Chains A and B, each alone.
Chain A
Amino acid sequence: MNLYDDPCAHCEEMMQPYLDHILSDAERLEAEAHLDECDWCRRRYRFEESLRVYVRQVVSEPMPAELKRKLAALRIPLD
């Protein structure tokens, strides 16, 4: 089946490039027109946005203080 036969499948294809802001103006307007009338896709776009933020927050571990100290000690002393 052609993607264009199913507007939601087509919208799904456009989700990543839409959220990355790399769609052309025409494609972006097309995606937004569908999102305006399709709650089903709109929810999935909102989920994707939340997921990206959440993943970034959750996987960010602070650097161990010990490592920071070791890095400073790697500096080359002035002659």
Chain B
Amino acid sequence: MTGASVAAMAEAPSDATRIAAEARDRVRFEEEALALSDQVYRVARHLAGSREEADDLVQEMYARAFRSWRSYQPGTNLRAWLLRILTNLNIDRGRRQQRAPQTQALEANDYYLYDKLAESDGGPTDEERVVERLSQDDIVSALSAVPHDFRDVIVLVDIGDFSYQDAAQILDIPIGTVMSRLHRGRRVLKRELAESVAEDGT
């Protein structure tokens, strides 16, 4: 037996071992990614404009994640990695551009919504329960009326519980921009909510 063929025989099992190890890693990746699907959906639902869009977006995101699992670095934040794919897909689908031009960000002062709710008649008036005057529909539609740049940050940080740092990475913007959009975006949201109170006539 030549030295080369001995070496080849020695390599053969290690090749098989490598393939088996990779299959194990891939299965583990898929399981970890799927375990996060409820959290991913919660965010995707409001990054996208509708349930149907969110549905498509989440499926596209998982299909892509499963194909490109090798580019995920184990030990890093998988949820943020998945959301990065999702926000990029969302941009690719042109949803941002569609919504961007018409929407205007009008902010109210931070105390405005409380004052509006407290002065309306009926329902609880104490500051911890006065929020209950806002219906689920009021909130969902107010959120969808917030321009996408602001809404993305609110959805990631206030609904998805991502840190500023994670949100900055996911959206590929500086952390200072995350903070200023969050701050202004919440004021825009509160203004939208205050308008829904006025419209309901409550």
Min Cβ gap B7→A in Å is 26
Q: Is B63 an interface residue (CB 8 A)?
A: yes
Contact of A15 among B46, B110, B143, B189 (CB under 8 A): B110
Encoded as 1 (CB less than 8 Å from any B CB) or 0, chain A from 16 to 39 comes to 110000100000000000000000
The chain B residue sitting closest to A61, CB to CB, is: B45
Tally of contact residues, B, Cβ under 8 A: 44
Shortest Cβ distance from residue B161 to the other chain A in the assembled complex, whole angstroms: 8
By secondary structure, the A interface counts as: helix
Question: Top 9 A-B pairs ranked by shortest CB distance?
Answer: A63-B41, A47-B127, A47-B114, A43-B127, A54-B131, A46-B127, A50-B128, A44-B111, A58-B136
Closest to A53 in B: B131
Contact A12 B23 (CB under 8 A): no
Q: How many residues of A contact B (CB 8 A)?
A: 34
**A1 interface residue (CB < 8 Å to B):** no
CB-based contact A60/B42 at 8 Å: yes
Supplied contacts A59-B159, A74-B59, 7 more A-B pairs, CB within 8 Å: A16-B110, A43-B114, A50-B131, A56-B158, A63-B42, A74-B63, A76-B30
